[in-house]
Structure 1
C-alpha cells in the first residue's frame, strides 16, 4: 500500500510565494535549480511548483551561501546526506523484513 506523501513533500507552492518566504529572488531560485540543488515539479502550463521541504532546503542553501560555502560544496554535502538516508531506509527495510517489524 502506497503511503500518502506528507504535506511537506507536496509540490504546490509557486516560485513567487517561495521567493517571498525565503527572501531569495526568483532568478536565484532558478539558479539553484540549474545547479541541481532543488528539483521543482512543473505544472501542465510549465510553471514551477515547490514543496515546503524545497523552501526549507532553499533557506538552508541561502544560509550556507552567506557563510561562504560554494554551490558545489553544498551539492556534495546534499548528495552525501541523501545517500546516507537511502542507506538507512534500506537497512530499516531489511530489518523489518527479517524481524517482522512494521512501522505504524
Structure 2
C-alpha cells in the first residue's frame, strides 16, 4: 500500500503556492528529469507531497549553486543506495527469518 505522500493529487498551481517556485521552474525541473508528475487524460500535471519535498531539496541545492545535472546525479546515487539497502534488508530478513 502506498503512502499518502506518494499519491499524485496536487495541481501545479498548488505546488507553486506551497513551494514558492514559479510554474516555469517546476516545469524546468520536470524537463531535466528531476521530478516526474503524472498526467491526467487532459494532460494536467499532478504532483505528490513527496514531489513537493523533492522540489524543496532541489531549490535549496540550486540556491547553493549546485547545477541540475549534479542534482540529478546525486539523486540517482541516493536511489541506488536505497535500492541496495532494501536488497540487503530483504536478504537479512530471509536469512534470519525476520518479519514473520
- TM score, norm. by length of structure 2: 0.96
1:63 is the counterpart of 2:60:
yes
SS in structure 2 of the partner of residue 13 of structure 1: coil
1:47 is the counterpart of 2:41:
no
Aligned length: 100
- TM score, norm. by length of structure 1: 0.92
1:102 is the counterpart of 2:99:
yes
CA offset at residue 12 of structure 1? 0.6
RMSD (Å) for aligned C-alpha atoms: 1.1
1:27 is the counterpart of 2:27:
no
2:37 and 2:96 mapped to 1: Cα distance? 37
In structure 2, list runs of 5 or more residues that go unmatched: none
1:13 and 1:100 mapped to 2: Cα distance? 40
1:45 and 1:91 mapped to 2: Cα distance? 41
Question: What is aligned with 1:77?
Answer: 74
Query: Which whole-Å deviations, capped at 9, do the CAs of 1:65-98 have from their partners, x for residues lacking one?
Result: 0110000111111010000001100111111111
Query: Which whole-Å deviations, capped at 9, do the CAs of 1:10-69 have from their partners, x for residues lacking one?
Result: 111011100100001111101000101001111122111111010011011011101100
2:26 and 2:53 mapped to 1: Cα distance? 12
- Which runs of structure 1 show a deviation greater than 6 angstroms over 4 or more consecutive aligned residues? none
